[in-house]
Amino acid sequence: MGMTMTQKILAAHAGMESVKAGQFIEAELDIVLANDITGPPAIKEFARMGTGKVFDTDKVVLVPDHFTPNKDVKSAEQCKILREFASRQSIKHYFEVGQMGIEHALLPEKGLVVAGDAVIGADSHTCTYGALGAFATGIGSTDMAAGMATGRAWFKVPAGIKFSLIGKPGRWVSGKDVILHIIGMIGVDGALYKSMEFMGPGLEWLSMDDRFAMANMAIEAGAKNGIFAVDEKTTEYMRTHAYKGGSSFKRIQAFAPDSGAPYERSFEIDLSKIRPTVAFPHLPDNTRAIDDVGEVRIDQAVIGSCTNGRISDMRVAAEILKGRKVADGVRCIIFPGTQNIMLECVRLGYAEIFIEAGAVLSTPTCGPCLGGHMGILAAGERAISTTNRNFVGRMGHVDSEVYLASPAVAAASAVKGYIADPGSL
């Protein structure tokens, strides 16, 4: 019997010729990742295990990004735990303020993850790296501790769902719109513990940034992971971002699904038929095409995050905000995904455009996405956001509302003062 992309990667890392859905395996890991929220409990468990040293100082990555720069004493203590552990263990990839970024934007930029890798991260959006053709999934802090100690993890092999992409997306339609459309179609549990596998001729029209956004939100459909077929764009991205201090680029292995791969379900997605899409409160599958949104007033627009904080997202926001002003009564907060992306915003003149439009340009942080800092909502307030979750109280007060959208829709909405079609400007 054939195998899906995910099953092939897991088989290779388990040292087996083949695996099948539902099978339990133990696999070797290429990257083990944690942040300032999930890292400290993992470090505590690691100490209790008595192992002493991490399995590989080049494969454990620690990124304080959720509450940094530190918003209070508690968050400062959390980051201190990571900092001291990284120093004691001689962790090569610890990214502090000034070098840091939002973890799922930073690791691909640094070239630390490549096609064919097996990656675990103590953060649910670790599935982002599937855009590179890697198996990447979120785990808990206890599994993180075991991964740091042994370089291995247990998995139940997921069944796959195939998404064949065809057609060319229209103006202002991005990967964010595509994944919101798909989640709206199959539901937040439509891919529960499945591998969402994206392929087909439509990939030609999706940039790597589009793919990162889509893989990032596979978890919002309940998926174990999302993964894209490796093509020339993937290879060029990995070549451009090759890790200079190690051998990550050398370990690239692209896995294509077998012709008889046992997908549980298959969908054909015509990108040309997708319109800019908005997820209404309080679930990512509560979606509407922009034409069916109506006039929903907003108090805040957030552009950034591990979903949409990359340079193409900044470019779209700048294109819309250039020569325009953020509407009275609206707070527009823009936070690039990494320091390099922020620097590019300065070099390309985007920072000036944002500030002249009346927006705030923030240092890279997860802050507002999880209601941490840099953009908390009060009771009764509404935000249009390029982040990935809109649960009750996600960005602040339980009586606030979050509407998920692309950078184009968020920027247009900031200008209009209500959720708006970027094509209407």
Give the chain's end-to-end CA distance (angstroms, integer).
Answer: 53
Asked if the model's pLDDT at residue 249 lies above 80, the reply is: no
Strand (E) positions, 305-408?
331-335, 360-361, 382-385, 401-404
What three-state secondary structure class fits 336?
coil
pLDDT of 244 strictly over 70: no
- Which amino acid, 5? M
Residues 328 and 193 in one domain: no
Quick check: 6 pLDDT over 80? yes
Mean pLDDT of 289-315: 96
Residue 238 and residue 357 in one domain = no
Q: Is the same domain home to 102 and 139?
A: yes
Residue 92 and residue 228 share a domain:
yes
Separation of alpha carbons 111 and 96, rounded Å: 17
Residue with tokens 């501790």: 145
Burial letters 195-229, b for 16+ CB under 10 A, else e: bbbbbbebbeebebbbbbbbbbbbbbbbbbbbbbb
Q: Which domain holds residue 265?
A: 5-247+260-270
Kindly tell me if the per-residue pLDDT of 250 is higher than 70: no
pLDDT per residue over 120-144, tens digit each? 999 999 999 999 999 999 999 899 9
Residues 83 and 99 in one domain: yes
Distance CA 124, CA 112 (A): 18
Cβ atoms of 297 and 408 within 8 Å: the answer is: no
> Are 237 and 280 within one domain?
no
Report the CATH number at residue 406.
Answer: 3.30.499.10
pLDDT at residue 247 tops 60: no
| Crossing angle of helices 208-216 and 103-110, rounded to 10° | 140
Phi, psi angle pair for 288, to nearest 5°: -140, 145
Q: In this model, does residue 65 exceed pLDDT 90?
A: no
Q: Is the domain of 304 the same as that of 416?
A: yes
Given strand 263-270, what is the order of strands in its sheet? 225-228, 194-199, 159-166, 263-270
For residue 14, what are its two tokens? 């388990």
Identity of residue 29 = L
Out of 160-169, 253-262, 393-402, give the one with best mean pLDDT.
160-169
Residues 236 and 354 in one domain: no
Which residue would you say has higher pLDDT here, 249 or 82?
A: 82
What is the mean predicted confidence (pLDDT) over 201-230?
A: 97
Amino acid letter at 337?
G
**pLDDT at position 171:** 93
- Same domain for 240 and 308? no
Nearest to 317 by CA among 412, 423, 179: 412
> Is 125 found in the same domain as 87?
yes
The residue whose two tokens read 């800019």 is 276
- The total of structural domains in the chain comes to 2
- The band of 150, judged by pLDDT with boundaries at 50, 70 and 90, is very high
Q: What percent of the chain has pLDDT over 70?
A: 98
